[in-house]
Structure 1
Amino acid sequence: MPTITAGLDGSPQSLAAADWAAREAEQRGADLRLVYGLEQPAYTYAPFAGLPAAGALDVQRPWAEKLLDETRSRLAHRHPALRITVGVSGDQPVAALLAAAESSELLVLGSRGLGALAGFVVGSVALAVVARAERPVVLVRAGERAEDEHLPDAGGEAATTTPYRDVVLGVDLENPADAVVGFAFEAAQRRAAGLRVVHGWSLPAAYGYGAAMDADLNEELAEQARERLAEVLAPWRAKFPGVEVREQAVIGSAGRHLVHASRDAALVVVGRRIRRAAVGGHIGPVTHAALQHAVAPVAVVPHD
């Protein structure tokens, strides 16, 4: 049975992540696993923050077990058909979450949100996991609710009975990784949602400053970008004929356009190239911008 894993530390954002993961697991027909890694950093939401290491470990395990049991009970009440398992890992959080990701379809973590307009402030644990995980990771801000994924109903309020908001996909036309594009199409298909595909392009430096004022040249390059985007998406449209796709090849930073699109999205999907090096992982500027500023949950899909 496929498994979706959510990392818990007791913070509001991690509890929101667990809620999101439960909905996703139910939608996929997957099991849900809740994990907690010991030796949490001092800033986490926990009553043992600041205790000496030995004392903190003695307090953490029973506290973590209680947190996991309470969260499992709450989610089981909301999702009675969902199979939920829990586990406390003796590893530190990053190592525990990376290990859990290896056997999961998806790892879901919380990010410290500053409100609907401010977006995410990504913590060091979440950032380290995203940079090194070789399975997709979704970051969810505190306060994320099931209703937030849906369009407003006739009364102006979002509800789970109304259609889903679009899934937004950021595409790099120099490396349109199948893993990233496929993840977004599948997410849209499961939700019966539209897919909004965003590609940001800029005038190549070789053209020089003066070329930026050439309207004909800009339109020619824009048309080339639109044609290339349509070419990349054509086989995916054929594979997922039920997904309504809107394409946007726009001039300027892709990260900025994705952040803007996230305001009306159920999910933002971006990629991260896997780099197996001694110095650790890497997060590109577009993905980093989405993680820091997007309003909707962000799925980071690693690829070769």
Structure 2
Amino acid sequence: MPHHVTVGLDGSPESSAAAEWAAREALLREVPLRLVHADEWPVSAAIPVAGPDVRRRWADELLAAAAEELRQEYPSLEISTRRLSGRPAAALSIEAAEADLLVLGSRGLSGVMGFLLGSVGMETIGATERPVVLVRAPGQPGGRTEAAPEGRFGGVVVGVDIHHSCDPLLDFAFDEAARRGVRLRAVYGWSLPPFARDASALAAAEREMSPDIARRLTHILAPWRQKFPSVEVVERSPIGAPSQLLVHAAADAELAVVGRRIRRSPLGAHIGSVAHAVIHHCAAPVAVVAHD
């Protein structure tokens, strides 16, 4: 099956930013780009309130216009379009199963429409085990103030959990850094129980525990350093909340990479608190990679 990058479009500025990012990613991977739109995407200012025929025509025109614009900007890129039927999360997850990764626009959870767009992205992440990248539009709250030229920002940031295996996460992060020729910053944040968080306990913990934690992080990363020898790696394991540390570390990043553990239950998939926080507070594009 041919490899490709898929991006979901809904006519919003966020999905336009996602399409631009996805086009550059497809070129990096030397694979085609597929633009898709799901018929039952939540109604917004960008999507007309109309009957099915009008919405289908609007979707076809949206996809055609986006494809033409990207073809002019990236003439060497192979681009196709597809209109999907059904609820976006389900349709996008099926589409993602055929792709190297799925790219979506994101507005976090700010405001009513932000909640709708955010809920599509979050539901889709939970419905697929393929990597999903969420991209914010330039100038929106919490996003970039302007479009980010390729290579301008500081490499790739990945959040590492030293207590669980996360091979797909590290493989994805190292591969992205290698493709871009940029530095990879691997971050693990840790803390003490609430009853032991006075100043003296923190100082003692930093002296006694930090060296061992740093060694464990180095041990986890060692196989990936060997697999991707061209990638310069910076390791950080400070005391602090993992989500806050990742958001701060990714402030100037090209891409932030976080994991979510695959948990199958009758209540559906679970997205961890760290991934959830980074998705909604990080200005950089965020890749969510599922792993056991």
How many Å separate the matches in 1 of 2:135 and 2:267?
A: 27
Question: In structure 2, what is the equivalent of residue 257 of structure 1?
Answer: 245
Counterpart of 1:229 in 2: which secondary structure? helix
| Residues 114/93 of structure 1: CA separation in 2 closer, same or farther (3 Å cut) | closer
Question: In structure 1, what is the equivalent of residue 43 of structure 2?
Answer: 42
Confirm whether residue 66 of structure 1 aligns to residue 55 of structure 2. Answer: no
Matches within 5 A, 1:150-299: 150-151=151-152, 165-204=154-193, 208-209=195-196, 213-214=200-201, 215-299=203-287
- Aligned identity (percent) is 48
How far did 1:212 drift?
A: 5.8
Question: In structure 2, what is the equivalent of residue 138 of structure 1?
Answer: 133
How far did 1:82 drift?
A: 0.9
How many Å separate the matches in 2 of 1:221 and 1:45?
A: 52
Question: In structure 1, what is the equivalent of residue 83 of structure 2?
Answer: 88
Counterpart of 1:185 in 2: which secondary structure? helix
How far did 1:89 drift?
A: 1.1
Partner deviation per Cα, 1:158-210 (whole Å, 9 max, x = no partner):
xxxxxx621000001111410001100000000000000100011246xx427
Shifted more, 276-285 versus 3-12: the winner is 276-285
**Structure with the higher strand share, 1 or 2:** 1
How far did 1:43 drift?
A: 3.4
How far did 1:31 drift?
A: 0.9
Q: 2:120 aligns with which of 122, 125, 136?
A: 125
How many Å separate the matches in 1 of 2:231 and 2:162?
A: 21
| Residues 201/11 of structure 1: CA separation in 2 closer, same or farther (3 Å cut) | same
How many Å separate the matches in 2 of 1:23 and 1:292?
A: 23
Partner AA of 1:46 in structure 2: I
How many Å separate the matches in 2 of 1:74 and 1:68?
A: 10
Question: In structure 1, what is the equivalent of residue 141 of structure 2?
Answer: none
TM-score w.r.t. length of structure 2: 0.90
Gap runs ≥5 in structure 1: 152-163
Counterpart of 2:209 in 1: which secondary structure? helix
Aligned positions, number: 280
Confirm whether residue 109 of structure 1 aligns to residue 110 of structure 2. Answer: no
How far did 1:280 drift?
A: 1.3
| Residues 265/96 of structure 1: CA separation in 2 closer, same or farther (3 Å cut) | same
How many Å separate the matches in 1 of 2:239 and 2:260?
A: 21
TM-score w.r.t. length of structure 1: 0.87
Asked if the contact 1:37–1:88 (Cα under 8 Å) also holds between the matched residues in 2, the reply is yes
How far did 1:113 drift?
A: 6.2
Partner deviation per Cα, 1:137-173 (whole Å, 9 max, x = no partner):
000001267634433xxxxxxxxxxxx6210000011
Question: In structure 2, what is the equivalent of residue 78 of structure 1?
Answer: 73
Counterpart of 2:268 in 1: which secondary structure? coil
**Segments ≥4 residues shifted beyond 6 Å:** none
Question: In structure 2, what is the equivalent of residue 302 of structure 1?
Answer: 290
Instruction: Please provide the CA RMSD for this pair.
Output: 2.0
Partner AA of 2:154 in structure 1: R
How many Å separate the matches in 1 of 2:20 and 2:127?
A: 24
Partner AA of 2:219 in structure 1: E
Asked if the contact 1:149–1:265 (Cα under 8 Å) also holds between the matched residues in 2, the reply is no
Counterpart of 1:123 in 2: which secondary structure? helix
Gap runs ≥5 in structure 2: 139-143
Partner AA of 1:72 in structure 2: A
Partner AA of 1:169 in structure 2: V
How many Å separate the matches in 2 of 1:223 and 1:149?
A: 36
Partner deviation per Cα, 1:249-277 (whole Å, 9 max, x = no partner):
01111100111112110000000111222
| Residues 110/62 of structure 1: CA separation in 2 closer, same or farther (3 Å cut) | same
